[in-house]
Amino acid sequence: MPVLQHLRGLHRQSMPLAGMRIAGCMHVTKETAILIRALRDAGAEVAWSGCNPLSTQDDVAAALAAEGTPIYAWHGLSTDEFYWCIDQTLTMDPNLTLDDGADLIFRAHGGGDGMTAGIIGGTEETTTGVHRLRAMADDRALKYPVIAVNDATTKWDFDNVYGTGQSALDGVLRATSVLLAGKQLVVAGYGHCGCGVAQRARGLGANVLVTEVYPIAALKATLEGFNVSTMDAASAVGDIFITTTGIRDDGAIVCNAGHYDCEINLDDLSELAVSSEEVRANNREHVLRDGRRLYVLAEGRLVNLAAAEGHPPEVMDMSFANQFLSLIRLAREGSSMTPGVYPVSDEQDREIAAIKLQTMGIEIDELTAEQQAYRTDYAQGT
């Protein structure tokens, strides 16, 4: 993760996060461990919980705990344990929060004004969490500023597209060992994550069919060469279904790459099934009354993290660099920012992209002085 390591070294001496207490709620993976170390090196005190009951890598959590970081996360949390872990991070009275899905932020708000009074700002990693926070802000319920890291170009055009595309299919392959070539693979939702899954699946030889509710997204999928239909039509022909919408009860029947486990209606499936058994790790077979078999992966949770290792570190490098710089910005400016959802600055986006290219050994051109002048010279015409 060379971008994050570069920033870590750059800020190790100045320690811009000195005096900051950061409560984090994010998948405990090897990539997250590098972020936590960078935050500590920048002067922060950190406590951490996992943002999904099945995504914690226990060996990573144990290693961080051995280094002295309070870690409240383990693989296979119950719902009660999941929220207990989040609550433990809040006992440190954080003045900054880092979230993936907004459960930590929502939990802090549930504690009343006394819980949020000392928090000067937070960050949010994923699309689902940003949607929740914008709804809170619209309802005037959000009590401190939050930077939408997810919406940075160097996050969602790379992490969401290439990270989700590769890691979701990695999870499917680990849980099933199925051959993707020649299969009818249905992707529910053609946002950044959905288009990444569709593109990677096509590259592996699958026949990809996309379902959508937004006309522009459906049109984009069509012009990029994918078949588009309704889920009812797709359910008659699909072999593999992957939901990437973040919306509940999508009707998909195999696996989910959205943040929460509500996209597959497991309660309805349980009522329809006459038997259910785990046939291999992260793969449960449900036999229906008519003899058909449906295989649900990773209990309907994030298949790329529950059944695999999540996004590769090369792409998480930029996402977590955005987290790192956004928390430094909040440490400096958060007290003067009003509650609301804020974007990552264009300057930060360009800085991270430039560092990433440099670490890859790639050089690009620069505009000449004449070209710079031409861009703002409205008098020149034909």
Q: Are 290 and 275 in contact (CB under 8 A)?
A: no
Cα separation of 224 and 266, whole Å?
32
Annotated binding residues for NAD(+), written as ranges, equal: 126-128, 191-196, 212, 257-259, 304, 311
Task: Give the global pTM.
Answer: 0.91
The Cα–Cα gap between 152 and 264 comes to: 28
Domains recognised in the chain with CATH numbers: 2-155+312-359 (3.40.50.1480), 161-306 (3.40.50.720)
Query: For residue 168, what are the contacts with CB-CB under 8 A and spacing of at least 6?
Result: 193, 196, 197, 200, 242, 244, 255, 257, 303, 304
User: Read out DSSP for 56-84?
Assistant: --HHHHHHHHHTT--EE--TT--HHHHHH
Binding-site positions for substrate read 29, 100, 125, 155, 159
Q: Are 217 and 190 in contact (CB under 8 A)?
A: yes
CB of 33 within 8 A of CB of 318? no
Q: Cite the annotated binding site by residue number.
A: 29, 100, 125-128, 155, 159, 191-196, 212, 257-259, 304, 311
Per-residue pLDDT of the chain (382 residues; tens, 9 = 90+): 999 999 999 999 999 999 999 999 999 999 999 999 999 999 999 999 999 999 999 999 999 999 999 999 999 999 999 999 999 999 999 999 999 999 999 999 998 777 899 999 999 999 999 999 999 999 999 999 999 999 999 999 999 999 999 999 999 999 999 999 999 999 999 999 999 999 999 999 999 999 999 999 999 999 999 999 999 999 999 999 999 887 666 544 578 887 777 788 889 999 999 999 999 999 999 999 988 889 999 998 889 888 999 999 999 999 999 999 999 999 999 999 999 999 999 999 999 999 999 999 999 999 999 999 998 888 877 7
Structure tokens at 86: 């989040």
Nearest to 170 by CA among 211, 208, 210, 201: 201
CB-based contact 339:143 (threshold 8 Å):
yes
Distance, C-alpha 321 to centroid of its chain: 14
Longest dimension (CA), the chain: 74
